[in-house]
Amino acid sequence: MKARAFDYVRPQTVGDALRVFDDAGGDAAYIAGGQSLVPALALRLQAPAVLIDIARLEELHGISLEDGWLRIGAATRHVEILTSDLVARHAPLLAKAAPFVAHPAIRNKGTFGGSLALADPASEFPAMALALDADIEIASTEGDRRVAAEDFFLGLYETALQPGEMIRAVRVPIATASSRCAFDELSRRRGDYALVGCGVNVQLAESRVDSVRIAFLSVGSMPMRATTAESALVGHPLTRDQIRVAQDALACDLDPPGDEHVPAEMRLHLARVLLGRLLGGLETVA
Ligand SMILES: Cc1cc2nc3c(=O)[nH]c(=O)nc-3n(C[C@H](O)[C@H](O)[C@H](O)COP(=O)(O)OP(=O)(O)OC[C@H]3O[C@@H](n4cnc5c(N)ncnc54)[C@H](O)[C@@H]3O)c2cc1C
């Protein structure tokens, strides 16, 4: 199959890109890394009349510290997340998740903003945005707005983005001396989409859990937080017993789908195992 014929535009500014989208009457799509959009065009799952290339827009690039946040431009490529010193120091959970995103060729083109906009429930970065309590900066012809990751992911490939809106950047609260984090996923082969993946972001206060965010990928129609498991940990040291309580609580948080390869019970079991491993690695008391 071939893509529908389309016009290709490469604007010089975010403002121009937004106006081109408006002028196309909504029959347009932004293209960043193209790693998901190009296959979708080829299969005619999407068939916009105009493709607006935003990959080289200067305003969408750069990783910087701003007012207690790590600000990551939407067109930052996955490989840059993987290799950035700023990300490793201030948002280590992203650095830990990045090697699990696809393969080097895809990481060289795919973008952070593209991954969040696509909102694939099996993707690592949307779930980690949730675990990190990130804010999404959204640009439109009406002006900019900010949406918490919590309110951004709405369903299967569905986000709070309105037609024509563009992710400009993502803001991640910076890690502190009392932050601990861990990421892992289980997949059939390295580089495959995960059967289950999980990121844990803990704030400790004198060896006890002060706050924690646990986010899973591949367990439902969108990235999922495990809030009952989180509540089971707050106020306690990370002991083996307490970790077991949190693992048990996952049954209240997750209701994963089954398919012919992975029944729902197995997916829940894998989530439980994964959480145990991740929290076990952060144990504060033996
Ligand atoms: C073989 C293969 C394996 C993969 N494996 C993984 C994996 O294991 N884990 C994983 O997380 N991902 C995986 N991916 C997806 C890839 O990593 C990219 O993250 C993903 O394709 C989206 O990023 P992109 O920049 O390529 O977006 P594009 O393909 O350019 O766009 C995707 C969608 O987002 C929209 N969009 C893009 N940027 C913006 C923006 N700034 N604002 C608003 N809308 C925007 C586009 O209009 C489009 O609808 C895989 C892809 C392939 C082809």
* Ligand 1 neighbour 30 (Cβ under 6 A): yes
The neighbour count for residue 281, using CB atoms within 10 Å, is: 12
Among 143, 173, 203, the domain-final residue is: 173
* Domain end residue (candidates: 142, 173, 204): 173
| CATH code (residue 156) | 3.30.465.10
194 CA: nearest ligand 1 atom: 8
Q: Give the distance (Å) from ligand 1 centre to CA of residue 36.
A: 5
Q: What is the whole-number distance in angstroms between the Cα of residue 236 and the centre of ligand 1?
A: 38
**Helix/strand number for the chain, H first, E second:** 12, 14
Q: Following CA atoms 108, 128, 70, 109 in sequence, which dihedral angle do they give, to the nearest 10 degrees?
A: 10
Say whether both 161 and 267 belong to one domain.
Answer: no
213 plus 111 within the same structural domain: no
Give the pLDDT of residue 285: 57
C-alpha 141 to ligand 1 mean position (Å): 23
Which atom belonging to ligand 1 lies closest to the Cα atom of 187? Answer: 8
CATH for 34: 3.30.43.10
| pTM of structure | 0.96
pLDDT, tens digit, for every residue of 33-91?
999 999 999 999 999 999 999 999 999 999 999 999 999 999 999 999 999 999 999 99
What percentage of residues in the chain have a pLDDT greater than 90? 91
* Ligand 1 contact via 51 beta carbon (within 6 Å): no
| Closest ligand 1 atom, residue 74 Cα | 41
- Going by C-beta distance under 8 Å and a sequence separation of 6 or more, which residues neighbour residue 245? 232, 233
Domain coverage including residue 190 = 180-281
DSSP E strand stretches across 122-193:
135-140, 143-148, 153-155, 158-159, 166-173, 179-186
Number of domains in the chain: 3
Q: Distance between CA atoms of 123 and 226, rounded to whole angstroms?
A: 17
Q: Is 35 in the pocket of ligand 1 (CB under 6 A)?
A: yes
Report CA-CA distances (Å) from 83 to 106, 118, 128, 184: 15, 23, 17, 18
Helix (H) or strand (E) holding 252: helix 240-253
Show which of 112, 141, 173 is a domain's final residue: 173
Matching residue, tokens 């709070």: 160
72 shares a domain with 13: no
Alpha carbon distance 276, 232 (integer Å): 13
Together in a domain, 169 and 215: no
Residue-wise pLDDT tens digits, 181-231: 999 999 888 777 899 999 999 999 988 999 999 999 999 999 999 999 999
Q: Which atom of ligand 1 is nearest to the CA of 107?
A: 17
Residue type, 66: E
Average pLDDT over residues 248-269: 93
Give the distance (Å) from ligand 1 centre to CA of residue 86.
23
